[in-house]
Structure 1
C-alpha cells in the first residue's frame, strides 16, 4: 500500500475550511477520502464540573489532544483503522462514543490550529490556509454556534471577544506562514480549488 496523501486545511473559525473540504471531496476523481476534524480531538474534561468546562478556551492550543491526533494520523498513514473521538459542544466534553475511520488513499485534516503544531505540520503533504475577512468569520461563527451548538447570542459574542479573537491573532493568523497555498474567501474561490485539485490528482497519478 502506498502512503496516503495527507492534506491539511487550516484557517480561523468560520473561514470556510469545511466548504473547501467539501469542494475538494466532490472534485477528486477517486473518492477514497477520509476527513479528520481537529475539533474531534478536544481534550476529555470529565474531571471538571460543567461550570469549569464552560470556561474552556477552545481556540487555544492547549485545548487539543494533539498527541492522540498525531498517533491516529500515523496509524492511518500506516494503513491501520482508528477510533476517532467525538465531542459534545453543549456539554463541553468528549462523548463516550467513537467513530471508526478506515485508512484511505487521501486523508484531509481540518482544523484551526493544525499548522501551528510542528508535529502535525511535519506529517502533511499539502498545507492549506483558508483566509477570510474577520467580519465574515464572526458572523458565520455566531450562526453556527446558535444553530448547531445550542449557544446564546450573548455567549457567542463574549467568547469571541474574550478568547476567539485573541487566540486567532496569537496562534492562528501567524501559522499562515507555514501554508503551501493560501485561499482567500475559502470554498468560493474556484480558481484556488481547481489548482489544489490539479495538484492532488498529480500526486495520485505519480503514486500509481
Structure 2
C-alpha cells in the first residue's frame, strides 16, 4: 500500500472502435448502445445532433402530407435507414418506398432499390452531408427523386432533384419557397407555410 489514494477512472461515453476496413451495414443492428438515428457513411458511424424545432416540424409536415396523397402501393416512413452498399446505410429524414418492402414490425432498413423519394431536412451539422455526400450516394443507388429542405430565416425552401438516367446524377428541377407543386413522383401541391410555427418567435422573424 503506497498510501496514495487511487484516482478513479474517468467515466463517460465509450465509443466503439471501428474494425479494419470500417463498419458495415449489418453492424448498425449489432452494435450496442448506439445513439438514436446513427448512420453509416463510408464505413464510419455518424451521430446526429439534437434536432431543431424547424427540423422536427419539417419532418412531421412532409410525412403527414405525403401520406395523405401517396398512391396506395407506396409507404411513407420517417427517419429510417436504407441499404446502399456494405459501407453505406444512411437515414433519410423521410423516405417513400414501394409497399412490398415493408415486411415486419422489427424491420430496421429498406433496400435502396425500393426507394421512390428521399428527403433530407438540413441541420447545421448536416449541410455537407445533405448537400454533397448523400445526394451523390442516393444517385449512384438509383433513387430517382431527392428533395433537400432548408430554412431561410425561419421559412422553408425545398430544392427538388430528379435522376438523369444518361449521367446517373441529379438534375435540379425546381426551388420552391412558399408553395411546392410537383407532378412526380406523384401529384403534390403543398403550402410550405405549414412548416413554420403558428405563433412566430423572434428567432423566426
Same fold per superposition (TM over 0.5): no
**Structure with the largest fraction of strand:** 2
**Structure with the largest fraction of helix:** 1
Higher relative contact order (CA 8 A, sep 6+): 1
The structure with the largest alpha-carbon Rg is 2
